[in-house]
Amino acid sequence: MELERTNVWLQLSGMIGIIASLTFVGLQLKQSQDIAIAAQYGDRSAEATQYWRFVAEFPELLEDVGKRHREHVAAANNYNDELSDEQIGLRYVQTRSYIESWDNNYFQYISGFMAEESWAVYESRLRRGCSSGGIVRAILVNHPEAFRQSFVNHCLQDADV
């Protein structure tokens, strides 16, 4: 009788141990996946930023970007029509590069990979950029599909407050 009781307790503790270890492995896999996704998103953001820096090096590309985005960039912050297409393109490209970085930083922050203190610096810049009439806001309103929806919502929501 005592042997059976010991056997039952050993089996029960063994099952609890297996369940605990499987839970631990599952949590480790989830954490590894979260880290991989965050790294992948950071890499994509860096590539997008590199693309916009490449565009900024060529006046003909800036001119083309300026022509395509003149309407919403020129309307932001009351830019006047005296700006050339190249100047409009440069403002667009510079701002787009900043937004790519902020989008990545926001993702890193909400994923738990950026400290509150670090995010606060970007958050204040983002709030200024997303303010009504700003070029950041204009780009996010006109190209929301280029960014994470949660980032766009965060920016536009905070700016409306």
Spatial distance between the Cα atoms of 158 and 156, rounded to a whole number of angstroms: 6
Cα-Cα-Cα-Cα dihedral sign, residues 59, 61, 65, 68 = positive
Average pLDDT over residues 91-99: 91
Host domain of residue 113 = 2-160
31-40 tens-digit pLDDT:
888 888 888 8
**Number of domains making up the chain:** 1
Q: Flag whether pLDDT at 161 surpasses 50.
A: no
Spatial distance between the Cα atoms of 43 and 59, rounded to a whole number of angstroms: 27
- Which residue type does 126 have? L
44-92 tens-digit pLDDT:
889 998 999 999 999 999 999 999 888 877 666 566 668 888 988 998 9
Spatial distance between the Cα atoms of 157 and 115, rounded to a whole number of angstroms: 22
Q: So what's the pLDDT on residue 79?
A: 61
Q: Do 159 and 127 meet the contact criterion of CB atoms below 8 Å apart?
A: yes
Spatial distance between the Cα atoms of 30 and 155, rounded to a whole number of angstroms: 28
Rounded to the nearest integer, the mean pLDDT of the chain is: 87
| Alpha-helical segments (H) within the chain | 2-56, 59-75, 85-110, 116-129, 135-142, 149-160
Q: In a 3-state reduction of DSSP, which class is residue 131?
A: coil
